[in-house]
Amino acid sequence: MIERKGSILTVREDIKVFDCTIRDGGLVNNFHFTDDFVKAQYETCVAAGIDYMEIGKNNSPSIMSEEEFGPWNFCKEEDIRRIVGNNDTNMKIAVMSDIGRTVNEELLPAEESVVDMIRIATYIHQIPAAIELVEEAHAKGYETTINIMAISKSFDDELTEVLETVAKSSVDVIYIADSFGSFYPEQINKLTEKYLTIAQAHGKQIGIHAHNNMQLAYANTIEALTYGTSFLDVTISGLGRGAGNCPMELLIGFLKNPKYKLMPVLKFIEEFIIPLEKELDWGYSIPYMLTGQLNEHPRAAMKARDEKDTNYRDFYRNLLAE
Amino acid sequence: MIERKGSILTVREDIKVFDCTIRDGGLVNNFHFTDDFVKAQYETCVAAGIDYMEIGKNNSPSIMSEEEFGPWNFCKEEDIRRIVGNNDTNMKIAVMSDIGRTVNEELLPAEESVVDMIRIATYIHQIPAAIELVEEAHAKGYETTINIMAISKSFDDELTEVLETVAKSSVDVIYIADSFGSFYPEQINKLTEKYLTIAQAHGKQIGIHAHNNMQLAYANTIEALTYGTSFLDVTISGLGRGAGNCPMELLIGFLKNPKYKLMPVLKFIEEFIIPLEKELDWGYSIPYMLTGQLNEHPRAAMKARDEKDTNYRDFYRNLLAE
């Protein structure tokens, strides 16, 4: 059985708190955040001691519509710099690449960009394309992660093969992504052991990206970190698609490193999240709980929430009948 | 280290799902539930396969005001029977006794009552009175529990002494109560080991009553049950004081015993919880998170919520200055 790393009272220097408020939150509003919002979010992260901030996706405008999606779905260099300047801070900037929606050649060399890290979101069947992009981004000078999605639907031996393949690439961090918010802490424990064993054998670190369908995003993040996960994804107030993510303000309460500060996060919540909650819908609710319990994509739940449909029994019956 | 009992895929016959919606929810509205609400809640619990339902407190009308508090703060025999009749079901009925607010002599013999279990809520300094009541209730024919409150503020050796004393009484179940919602799963793990070791040596079982200040009520309940806790407190939609409790609908999703049914709970949520959410405030929010993180009574947070005060930074500063 896997062992605890450090204790509940100590600082673990390998821990990186990774903010993805704009990127995962962008899935709620098609990335239509105002510059004021994104700038305040950036300044909050810097003040709170956050290690990385993911400012959006670098999807290609040749593939996705700039009329439908706001700037943070594309993360053009000039848009990012409008917010972060040269980012003369200790915090690194990341963007996410969706396999199939990016054009590798559009990626600038790292020395011409304010971006430090490319995070690659991939399904298992896209792994060869993901590794191609890892190598391209690595050669251009970026840190890289691979976030393998929907693993709760994969076979265990398949996942092992994928992890072995990914670990042999130039990637720096391999992420456990609980795409459907369907994992329980003891499953996260086993996944942590599996990912960590393979990653460490190749000198890599691992990360966790949790969803809150069953009110377990924070608990699963703590479980993963306790057993050796280094990169911890959070969003302010859990802002993110569907049931949302592990809230930054909760994780900062748990971590013992004094560099992490809660007060700036509370300020952002007061000034930006409270108004946003009147406009956008995210976070735990019964439909998300049901898709999580059944290990299904939250699609149906997002629809029910959009339509303010509270016929939970019908919703559950339909899910069971699928 | 303590071992897992059973596995995530098996049925544990010792598990009892314990509903306390009316009792803990009563702390939100001074027990002013309509009979319709309580009856629907009772029928929901029966249909969902719940093992015990706590219908309120049996505080003495000689000590607390019947004008201020609704009937479920007193749980007179005729009030309970108006809802449950003779309770010809497989579900047992419980009431909670607050030490200092009950009159032991008012307790009917069990054969004259539809109540099966007396749960005794006590602070550490009240333990002798709690044991007196345990013995009285046991002699009168009831099952009994002792729920030791505010243990997150107690010294470890003191708690050991208390548990040793309680375990020697006639009590059936000893509860881990996370009164301030301040425990992390790994602390619940240690408490489970401590409680279980002492309880089992005296032939007793243990229970868990969690609060959701840090979105950990469900995770902590799973942690406790995984390592041998038998009695699991839940409320529908987490209805309960402050940040509320472990939601029944989440726990039923985790348990593998087919006797537990989700559909009746969804029905109750549709028909009774959705309207109630417009009237009453409970559940996770930033002020409760902050009192939980600081291991404080939720009192200040309840006041902030009542006053719709979202000056979270001031709230936090005041807590830190206390």
What dotted CATH number matches A16-279? 3.20.20.70
What is Dmax (Cα atoms) for chain B? 55
Cα–Cα distances in Å, from A255 out to A8, A82, A237, A274?
8, 32, 17, 25
Rounded CA-CA distance B148/A91 in Å is 45
Q: CB-based burial of residue A140 (10 Å sphere; 0-12 exposed, 13-18 middle, 19+ buried)?
A: middle
How high is the pLDDT of residue B173? 98
pLDDT for res B140: 98
Q: Which residues pair with A254 in a beta bridge?
A: none
In this predicted structure, the answer to whether residue A263 has a pLDDT above a threshold of 80 is yes
Which residues make beta-bridge pairs with B234?
Answer: B19
Domain boundary assignment for chain B: 16-279, 286-321
Q: Whose CA is closest to A220, among B72, B65, B48, B185?
A: B185
Residue B33: per-residue pLDDT = 98
B152 touching A (Cβ < 8 Å): no
pLDDT of residue A8: 86
**pLDDT value of position B54:** 98
Q: Do B310 and A270 touch (CB under 8 A)?
A: yes
Indicate the residue of B186, B249, B289 with minimum beta-carbon distance to A8.
B186
What's the pLDDT score for residue A95?
A: 98
CB contact under 8 A, A270 and B218: no
Quick check: B266 and A219 CB within 8 A? Answer: no
Q: Is A247 on the interface with B (CB under 8 A)?
A: yes
Contact B215 A250 (CB under 8 A): yes
Q: How far apart are CA A119 and CA A19, in angstroms?
A: 12
Q: Is B262 on the interface with A (CB under 8 A)?
A: yes
Question: In this predicted complex, what is the ipTM?
Answer: 0.96
Q: How far apart are the C-alpha atoms of A163 and A265, rounded to whole Å? A: 35
Average pLDDT rounded to a whole number, residues A164-181:
97
Interface test with B, best of A256, A270, A319 (most B CBs within 10 A): A270
Nearest CA in chain A to B255: A293
The residue type at A85: G
**Residues on chain A touching B4 (C-beta within 8 angstroms):** 186
Report the pLDDT value the prediction gives residue B9, as an integer from 0 to 100: 86
**What number is the average pLDDT over the span A212-237?**
98
Per-residue pLDDT of chain B (322 residues; tens, 9 = 90+): 788 998 888 899 999 999 999 999 999 999 999 999 999 999 999 999 999 999 999 999 999 999 999 999 999 999 999 999 999 999 999 999 999 999 988 999 999 999 999 999 999 999 999 999 999 999 999 999 999 999 988 888 999 999 999 999 999 999 999 999 999 999 999 999 999 999 999 999 999 999 999 999 999 999 999 999 999 999 999 999 999 999 999 999 999 999 999 999 999 999 999 999 999 999 999 999 999 999 999 999 999 999 999 999 999 999 999 7
Model confidence at A97, pLDDT cuts 50, 70, 90, reads very high
pLDDT digits (tens, 9 = 90+) for A42-53: 999 999 999 999
State which amino acid sits at residue A31: F
Task: In whole angstroms, give the CA distance from residue B202 to residue B71.
Answer: 36
| Cβ-nearest to B226 among A4, A186, A214 | A186
Q: Stretch A285-300: mean pLDDT, rounded?
A: 97
Give the chain B residue whose CA is nearest to the CA of A213: B250
Q: How confident is the model at residue A233 (pLDDT cuts 50, 70, 90)?
A: very high
* Min Cα–Cα distance to chain A from B128, Å: 34
Chain A residues with CB-CB distance to B316 below 8 A:
262-263, 266
End-to-end CA distance of chain B: 37
How far off is chain B from A313, nearest CA to CA, in Å? 6
| pLDDT higher than 90, residue A96 | yes
DSSP-derived secondary structure letter, A148: E
| Distance (Å) from the alpha carbon of B268 to chain A's nearest alpha carbon | 10
